[in-house]
Amino acid sequence: MANDFGPDDLREVWCGQKVEHTQMTVEELREKARKLQRRFLFGNLLGYVAGTCAVAFSAFSMGHYPPLMRAGAWLLIAGTINAAYQNHRRVSAKTPSADAAPASWLEFHRRQLERRRDALRGVWVWNFGPLIPGLVLLFLGASLANPAHLRHALKFDALFAPVVALSFYLASRLTRIAARDFQRQIDELNAMRSGD
């Protein structure tokens, strides 16, 4: 039997289906908010630990660097501290009052999702971007530190730079996926609110 639908037709039929929105109880909504807070807290803690390690390593090894690399390390430290501060300011978990009304919990949960979504959409501006000048100076300083070994340093930079670029790319993709997931959850909450 021949298939009457093409891949695009099937996708359109699947996406066009009506979705039944179920109402969450107040306790389910509170539990979702708690899980989201724990997720934010865990993610922030991982970021703070990684940032602390990066700052400690840069500060510890800076004394052995030539001046240009030292400047790159200082910029990397400043970028890391700024990223940690911005992360805390933009996405740290907030706590609602325990006796809030169901509508307040719904609104609180939606606002938290929006904060996280918006922070992830701008992650290049406040997180990744400030790290790039320091990394560039470190690469440049390492290449120029010993002119006799410039060819080897350039080979190392040519191998290491794509690894750094790939890391930024993968982190960027993951944040876009997470931002879309937060938007989907926001849409679900908006549909629940409009269904009241």
Residue 1's pLDDT band (cuts 50, 70, 90): very low
170 versus 98: which is more confidently predicted?
Answer: 170
Q: What is the CA radius of gyration of the chain?
A: 23
Instruction: Round to whole Å and give the CA distance between 95 and 157.
Output: 45
- Res 39 pLDDT > 50: yes
Q: At what angle do helices 102-121 and 150-194 cross, to 10 degrees?
A: 150
- pLDDT value for 93: 67
Q: What is the mean pLDDT of the chain?
A: 78
Q: What is the mean pLDDT of residues 60-75?
A: 86
Query: Hunting for tokens 């021949």 — which residue is that?
Result: 2
Q: Looking at residues 95-115, what average pLDDT do you find? A: 74
State pLDDT tens for residues 23-36: 666 677 777 777 87
User: Burial letters for 157-194: b for 16+ Cβ neighbours within 10 Å, e otherwise?
Assistant: beeeeeeeeeebeeeeeebeebbeebeebbebbeebee
Domain ranges of the chain: 26-194
What's the confidence (pLDDT) of residue 38?
A: 81
pLDDT band at 146 (very low <50, low <70, confident <90, very high): confident
pLDDT at 148 over 80: no
Residue 157 has pLDDT above 90, yes or no: no
Q: What pLDDT does residue 188 have?
A: 84
Instruction: Flag whether pLDDT at 16 surpasses 70.
Output: no
Read off the pTM: 0.65
